[in-house]
Structure 1
Amino acid sequence: MTSTPPHQSILDKPFVLDLFAGPGGLDVAGHRLGVPSLGIEWDVSACLTRYRAGLDTLHADVSAVRRESFESLPPEINVLAGGPPCQTYSVAGKGSGREALDKVKEFIERLMAGDPDEKIDKDLKSLSDPRTALVLEPLRYAIQATRSPNRGHRPYDAIVLEQVPAVKALWDRYAEVLQQIGLPDGTKYQAVVEVLDTETYGVPQTRSRAVLIARRVGLGDPFLPKATHRAYEAREWNRRNDGVAAPTMQPTLYDAKVPEPGERPTEDDDLRHWTSMGDALAEPVGTHPGRRTPFLIRSNYGSSGNPGRRGVRTDRQPATTVTGRISRFVVFEPVGDHHPDVVCEGPRFSMNEAGMLQSFPPDYPWSGTARAQQVGNAVPPLFGAHLLSAALGLPAPTPEVLRKPWVPATEEQRAKLRSHGCGAADDCTARCPRPE
């Protein structure tokens, strides 16, 4: 499969169903591409963010919608997308999902063979953490689409999935069965699977994701989005910039000689330089005042594979993977002009800045509680735009499309969205999922 896009949409009117939609990473991507979407999200705070952002939303449990109200979904939806919760598969978690990979693969085969949902649900209870089973929901939705009278039993035309790298083995199995066995009704897909690095698509952070892009047979071979930026090489950076010290009592800054944004380092390399934190945050835009002062950050987890510099990066590097702990990042700035290499703790990242490091537009209306967690859980919109563009055959997006400030929904629009998503204009209702 090639990674060179033909720039010709495979669908006249793409409409995305975004499972586990979070605060809106894929939906923001679709919005900037002119592709409508409907997101299903369980967390009330993420839904509040989505309503304020003007994104069409169902405040619901993905599994419950599939079981109980699939027929109420718009029949014109033709693209399935999503990033199932990753806690049990992430290296930052306890690893119950990684330990259950072989068992989950068996469930994939049973689903494709047409095993009854009731029996599948009963047997899934054997998993030590029920979140592990959520990675099966995209496949179950794809199957359910072919059984839906409201859709005319029509399968989805394209599928776009992303997760932590440990899930690549499951996406590989998804691809095998979609291509070789097909859904129970006989529908087959062509699929590509790979682990991609978000900084190679202009996102100002290093984050690796396992992605699957599939197209229904007859709609052309799928391809991976072509990288637009160079990969960040931590060891090469450390070799060239030996003077960086991990901040202890008195961290130091330095002026690293790196290519300017957009500079092409060699004649045969047409990729832009990776986007740094400084590139993303320096200029004022919307209500963001700009962060022009050089800085370095210390996170509470590793960043470059070098224990001596664990968790430390400067504004000339991309951020480490943005997680729910982004609000704990300590930011250091120079004390003054006379002592540029002596630094003290400066203001930490605002939620607006944290979102911008995820490639969310400036002034995205983060709402509710646990906002840092919302930011960390989201699909980086610029990365999501590349995935959707590749899946649909659209021109690749540029970082500039996501740098315009986001215009929030009006109160009237928000109330209408919440009435649809929760059942009431200003509150949740009995149909909304409860935290317990």
Structure 2
Amino acid sequence: MNSPGKQVHDLDGIRILDLFAGPGGLDVAAHFLGYKSIGVEWDLNACETRYAAGLPTFHADVRVMRKTRFDEVPESVDVLTGGPPCQSFSVAGRGAGRRALKTVEDFLHRLVAGEDEATIDKELADLDPRTALVLEPLRWLLKAIETKDRSPYRVIILEQVPTVGPLWEVYRTLLRSGEGRLQGIKYEAECWELKTEQFGVPQTRTRAVLIARLPELGAVTALEATHRAFELHRGRRGEAPAGLFSSGAELPTGKRPWVSMADALDAASKLPNSPVNVSRLRTGGETKFFVVSNYGSGGDPKKRGKRLSTEPAFTVTGKISRNRIHKVGADHEAERGDRFTIPEAGVLQTFPHNFPWSGKDQSQQVGNAVPPRLGMHILGMALRDSAPSDGELTAAQSWPPVPQPTTDALRRIGCGDRSTCPPDSHKVSRRRSKPSP
């Protein structure tokens, strides 16, 4: 395994290109599996976290990078990954992407058929810009196929919210076909919906995932869940019986129980120099609390869902800092509400307890990320036909220190003189100070 703090950052030997890389969920997964990666990310705050973590990064728009800077991508890259922005497709959003699914499907077919890309770009201007980004992985593949001295990616991995599943099915069909601009290059491809808690992530989150790879790598094998699914039995939390915080449900044969919020936070708090401190949530030597969601439940925006500390968290979103945590005493009466810290929210996403979150909007960075533990399972099956080992998963609890010179060098690679960064992304807004009284 290469330590981010000790790598030579000349971009040699990098195999994985992560589009829409965010703070590094898939890059963290790749690191603990022993693969080098580089990300493309337009948000400067996420880039600052990546630089602090020692993750090579292009601070760029994936569209601009594809059109004008494609030659900067290391030639050693043979794996393309991407989780396009989900806001327009998410059920929590306004639904522009969901309404445009058929339109996007048509664009996918038109790109492969070889229609003029300038015409397609002009028509894409009528879509929500985030919706159009779901086309980018295909456009990057076509660019690689049609660029001299480049080879088609050997492996392609895509993930998104479940509503994008129908588009991944279109990707699967097109990649298997080898038609049009694919120039006869066919992939073995499969797609599924995966529940994060079934892979040891202490939250419920469903993702639509596609894995495609060239035939010489063999058929794509389905990921096998390691933990039981979480089935929510809603009840009146304020009238809980004494056994509320113990799970006595029978487990499916061979499956581990889900990882609860308390399990994850307790384990992180015991690691050396951990920023996670659950003492404020402990009663009688046990971590007992419940979380009140920031979102409505059952179609009622005023009715907030609740999760117990013995259960997985709600889906970790960019609004996680708004979720109220209530400590529970011996009589099960909730005490004053609290909030998750950024390190705690990161742990619920399965980032290392000491991951160096940096920049602004850190809760948004955490919420936008791919859970690294799920990423380890996906990358493991896609690249080597095996799930992560217990040793790899244990190692993934802590992030190695990254020297400041490494962070500075990565910032130079990612931003350089800032001329190639997204417009105005480095602009600092200055508030006019109030006059002294």
Task: Please indicate the TM-score interval, normalised by the length of the shorter structure.
Answer: 0.7 to 0.9
Per the TM alignment, residue 108 of structure 1 is displaced from its structure 2 partner at its CA by 0.5
Superposed CA deviations along residues 285-339 of structure 1, whole A, max 9, x for unmatched, are 232344243111111114689999842011000000000110011111135xxx5
Are positions 1:169 and 2:166 aligned together?
yes
- Residue pairs, 1:45-84, within 5 angstroms: 45-84=45-84
Separation (CA, whole Å) in 1 of partners of 2:356 and 2:246: 36
- Selected match of 2:382 from 391, 413, 421: 391
Task: Write the letter of the residue equivalent to 2:423.
Answer: R
- Picking from 145, 148, 153, the partner of 2:150 is 153
Equivalent position SS for 2:130: helix
How big is the shift at 1:154? 1.0
Q: CA deviation at 1:430?
A: 2.0
Q: Counterpart of 2:140 in 1: which secondary structure?
A: helix
**Preserved CA contact (<8 Å) 1:245 1:308:** no
Contact 1:23–1:50 (CA under 8 A) maintained in structure 2: yes
Match of 1:10 in 2: none
- 5+ residue gaps, structure 1, are 1-12
Aligned pairs (5 A) from 1:79-94: 79-94=79-94
Report the TM-score, using the length of structure 2 for normalisation: 0.86
- 2:356 matched residue in structure 1: 365
**In structure 1, what is the equivalent of residue 400 of structure 2?**
407
**Matched residue, 1:432:** 421
Superposition pairs of residues 37-436 of structure 1, within 5 angstroms: 37-127=37-127, 129-149=128-148, 152-182=149-179, 183-235=181-233, 238=234, 242=235, 244-245=237-238, 255-258=244-247, 265=250, 269-283=253-267, 284=269, 285=271, 286-291=273-278, 292=282, 293-302=287-296, 310-335=304-329, 339-397=330-388, 398=390, 400-401=393-394, 403-424=396-417, 429-434=418-423
Once residues 380 and 430 of structure 1 are traced to their aligned partners in structure 2, the CA distance between those partners, rounded to angstroms, is: 32
Q: How far did 1:341 drift?
A: 1.6
Q: Structure 1 counterpart of 2:255, which letter? A: L
Instruction: Find the residue that maps to 2:307 and give its secondary structure.
Output: strand
> Structure 1 length normalisation: TM-score?
0.86
Distance in 1, Cα, partners of 2:59 & 2:186:
31
Distance 1:70 1:301 in 2: 40
- Whether the 8 Å contact between 1:253 and 1:334 is mirrored in structure 2 is no
Q: Counterpart amino acid of 1:170?
A: L
Contact 2:290 2:328 in 1 (8 A): no
5 Å matches for 1:8-23?
15-23=15-23
Cα deviation for residue 114 of structure 1 reads 1.7
1:371-422 deviation digits (Å, cap 9, x = unpaired): 0000000000000111111111243124833553212421100011011000
Report the alpha carbon displacement of residue 259 of structure 1 after superposing the two structures with TM: 5.1
Distance (Å, rounded) in 2 between the aligned partners of 1:110 and 1:48: 37
Alpha-carbon offset, residue 433 of structure 1: 0.6
SS at match of 1:230: coil
Q: Give the percent of matched residue pairs that are identical in Structure 1 and Structure 2.
A: 47
Deviation digits for residues 51-100 of structure 1 (CA, Å, limit 9, x no counterpart): 00000100000000000010121011000001000111111111111111
Q: Distance in 1 between matches of 2:319 and 2:262?
A: 20
In the aligned structure 2, how far is the partner of 1:63 from the partner of 1:225?
Answer: 31
Name the CA shift for 1:278/1:171 in 2 (closer, same or farther; >3 Å): same
* Coordinate RMSD, CA, aligned: 2.3
**Structure 2 partner of 1:6:** none
**Aligned-partner SS, 1:340:** coil
- The residue identity in structure 2 corresponding to 1:275 is V
Counterparts of 1:308 and 1:41, CA distance in 2: 35
Aligned length: 400
Q: Deviations over 1:323-376 (max 9, x none)?
A: 0110011111135xxx53222124321100000000001011111111000000
2:176–2:188 contact (8 Å) kept in structure 1: yes
1:116 is displaced (CA, Å) by 2.8
Distance of aligned partners of 1:215 and 1:289 in 2 relative to their CA distance in 1, 3 Å threshold: closer
- In structure 2, stretches of 5+ residues that fail to align are 1-12, 426-437
State the distance in 1 between where 2:106 and 2:23 align: 32
Letter in 2 for 1:330: R
Query: How far 1:245 moved relative to its partner?
Result: 2.9
Shift of the alpha carbon at 1:254?
A: 5.7
Q: What is the rounded CA distance, in whole Å, between the counterparts of 1:306 and 1:117 in structure 2? A: 44
Counterpart residue identity of residue 65, structure 1: M
CA contact (8 A) 1:362 1:404 kept: yes
Secondary structure at 1:341 match in 2? coil
Q: What amino acid does structure 2 have at the position aligned with 1:174? A: Y
Per-residue deviation, 1:253: 8.4
Secondary structure of 1:355's partner? helix
Contact 1:364 1:408 in 2 (8 A): no
- Cα 1:386/1:303, change in 2 over 3 Å: farther
Indicate the larger mover: 110-119 or 93-102.
Answer: 110-119
Rounded to whole Å, the distance in 2 between the matches of 1:218 and 1:91 is: 38
Q: Distance in 1 between matches of 2:237 and 2:300?
A: 11
